[in-house]
Amino acid sequence: MKRALFILLVTLVACTPRLPPHATSADAERANVALTELQTGRTMLIKKCGGCHRPPKPVEHTAAEWPRSLDEMSTRSNLDGEQRRLIQLYLVSLSR
């Protein structure tokens, strides 16, 4: 019984989607932006991108690469200008 429970737990953890990291006050200070903007950008990223695929993590691209990636996906995900700005701000600020 313990073994079956352990296997179930490992399976659930392995199948749980990995969400992008939360922005911290240090991230906001380093990027010279409001923490609330980074938090809102993360929330929109999860909501708008996560509907079709795993939401990307900021470290998957460099700061210079994110705008082009967003250009490709903005139309498909029906992002308005403010949504795109906040998502880009989050991704660029926390990128590698």
The reported pLDDT for the residue numbered 5 is 60
At 62-95, the pLDDT tens digits run: 999 999 999 988 988 899 999 999 999 999 999 9
Which pair of tokens denotes residue 83?
């949504």
Closest Cα partner for 46 from 94, 96, 83?
A: 83
The reported pLDDT for the residue numbered 7 is 65
Q: Are 16 and 83 in contact (CB under 8 A)?
A: no
The reported pLDDT for the residue numbered 13 is 46
Which pair of tokens denotes residue 95?
């990128």
The reported pLDDT for the residue numbered 15 is 53
At 9-59, the pLDDT tens digits run: 555 444 555 899 999 999 999 999 999 999 999 999 999 998 889 999 999
Q: Place 6 in a pLDDT band, splitting at 50, 70 and 90.
A: low
Residues 6+ positions from 17 with CB-CB distance below 8 Å: 50, 54, 55
Tell me the whole-structure pTM to 2 decimals: 0.81
